[in-house]
Amino acid sequence: MRSPQTPRSPQAKGWLRLIVPLLALAVAAPTCDTRRTDSLRALADGMDHYRQGRQTQALKSFREAVVIDEGNDLAHYYAGLLAFHQFQDRTTARKHLKKALDIDPAQAEYQYQYAAVLQADGQPQDAIPFLQAALERNPEHGQAHYRMGIAQRAKDQLRASAQSFVRAIELSPRFDKAYVELGDLYLTAGHAKEAAQVLENCTQNAPHGPECFNEYGRALIGLGDRKAAISAFNDALARRPDFTGALFNVGMAYRDEGNARKAKFYLERYLKGADRRAEVDRVTAAEQIISGM
């Protein structure tokens, strides 16, 4: 894989900065449309609120901007982004992003973000046409390739999915999620060696991500190297101490190493934070192991 480079796709936390210079010019420009001027001013207020950490006020200003001018696609777009990424309000996000997309379908980011909401709503196949449209407009959109890989995997198009993840990594080599999905794809197919190579690259190129180290540990378990796997799981926990997946994995690895004391310590920590409805099998396994000690 390529050596690290600066990702070309914008990070979610930095999206508001992208439009500030353009917006300043738009507000200052003379226009006979007072609604658009007032709408852009409300949008600028929203951005100022966001920069100051006032997220609720920011969303209120963005929504005020679209009330003033329903045709302000930027206001819909930023209202949708903030609702989705900051408030996890997919209903509001979907409404505003779809409106932005209807107004200006030529914008790759509108296509991409709407597809992201569809995937978050459990509709990976419905997202495909919007991802395709985003990639037609911007073929080097790394995160769109990643999400295309997610959609393709949901359709059991595993080869195409792997290719999409590889392309995402090439374009955004510090984007940890693409490595994690590609590694899991290999692990699920029984290719632990290939998974370990991908995930080792992840730990080097995106060392901020605890998922990289956790998945790397899983791959090392698949290769029979429990000691190295335990080290990787602990690296994941150093980055996120409450990471339940890593807590479970390191506890099980210590159990297999014959270290009952450490196994119990980590499995008990896992049980304190586990989602018992979503992780029934792992919770049951952890409880059985602890009760048998």
pLDDT (tens, 9 = 90+) of the chain, 293 residues, equals 333 332 233 333 444 444 443 444 344 444 457 888 999 999 999 999 999 999 999 999 999 999 999 999 999 999 999 999 999 999 999 999 999 999 999 999 999 999 999 999 999 889 999 999 999 999 999 999 999 999 999 999 999 999 999 999 999 999 999 999 999 999 999 999 999 999 999 999 999 999 999 999 999 999 999 999 999 999 999 999 999 999 999 999 999 999 999 999 999 999 999 999 999 999 999 999 999 98
Residue type, 56: T
CATH code assigned at 79: 1.25.40.10
- Provide CB contacts within 8 A for 213, sequence distance 6+: 203, 232, 233, 235, 236, 239, 246
Domain containing 22: what range?
Answer: 14-104
Q: Is residue 160 assigned to a domain?
A: no
Can you tell me whether residue 16 is helix, strand or coil? Answer: helix
Query: If you search the block for the tokens 């304190």, which residue do you land on?
Result: 272
**Count of CA atoms in the C-beta half-sphere (13 A) of 250:** 26
Q: Is residue 271 assigned to a domain?
A: yes
Q: Is residue 266 assigned to a domain?
A: yes
Residue that terminates a domain, selected from 70, 89, 104: 104
Q: Is residue 236 assigned to a domain?
A: no
pLDDT at 33: 77
User: What CA–CA distance (Å, rounded) separates 76 from 66?
Assistant: 6
pLDDT at 235: 98
- Provide CB contacts within 8 A for 56, sequence distance 6+: none
Under 8 Å between Cβ of 259 and 225? no
Domain tally, the chain: 2
Q: Is residue 78 assigned to a domain?
A: yes
pLDDT at 293: 86
Q: Is residue 77 assigned to a domain?
A: yes
Residue that terminates a domain, selected from 70, 104, 138: 104
Residue that terminates a domain, selected from 104, 134, 155: 104
User: What CA–CA distance (Å, rounded) separates 283 from 22?
Assistant: 52
Q: Is residue 224 assigned to a domain?
A: no
Q: Is residue 251 assigned to a domain?
A: yes
